[in-house]
Chain A
Amino acid sequence: MLMLHGIQIDLISEDRLDNMTSMEKVRLILENVKEGTIVVLEKGLDPEEQSTLIEYTMMEISPDGFSGIEMETYPAKDGHEGLFTKLFGKKKGKDRRLTVIGPANQMRMLKTESDFISAFVTSR
Chain B
Amino acid sequence: MKVFFRTRKKFKTLFKSFFGKKKAKIGIYGPPNAGKTTLANRIVRDWSGEMVGQVSEIPHETRRASRKEGVTITGDNGSSVTIDIVDTPGVTTKIDYHEFEEYGLEKDDAVLRAREATEGVAEAMHWLREDIDGVIYVLDATQDPFVQVNIMMVGIIESRKLPVVIVANKIDLPDSSPARIRSAFPQHPVVSISGLEGDNVDELYEYITKNFG
Number of interface residues of A (CB under 8 A): 27
A50's nearest neighbour on chain B, judged by CB, is B152
Give chain A residues whose Cβ lies under 8 Å from the Cβ of B152. 47, 50, 54, 71
Q: For A54, give its contact among B91, B97, B114, B160 (CB under 8 Å).
A: B91
- How many contacting A-B pairs (Cβ < 8 A)? 74
Task: Say yes or no: A59 contacts B118, CB within 8 Å.
Answer: yes
Q: For A55, give its contact among B111, B125, B159 (CB under 8 Å).
A: B125
Give chain B residues whose Cβ lies under 8 Å from the Cβ of A52. 125
Residues from 161 to 209 in B contacting A, C-beta threshold 8 Å: none
**Which secondary structure characterizes the binding site on chain A?**
mixed
Q: For A71, give its contact among B93, B95, B96 (CB under 8 Å).
A: B93
Give chain A residues whose Cβ lies under 8 Å from the Cβ of B118. 58-59, 61
Task: Say yes or no: B148 contacts A73, CB within 8 Å.
Answer: yes
Could you list 7 further interchain pairs (A-B, Cβ under 8 angstroms) beyond the known A46-B159, A71-B93? A47-B152, A48-B159, A58-B119, A59-B118, A61-B118, A63-B111, A73-B148
Enumerate chain B interface residues (CB-CB to A < 8 A). 91-97, 111, 114-115, 118-119, 121-122, 125-126, 128-129, 146, 148, 151-152, 155-156, 158-160
Asked whether any CB of chain B lies closer than 8 Å to the CB of A51, the reply is yes
Task: Say yes or no: B148 contacts A105, CB within 8 Å.
Answer: no
5 contacts between A and B (CB under 8 A): A47-B160, A54-B93, A55-B121, A55-B126, A58-B125
Task: Say yes or no: A58 contacts B151, CB within 8 Å.
Answer: no
Asked whether any CB of chain B lies closer than 8 Å to the CB of A104, the reply is yes
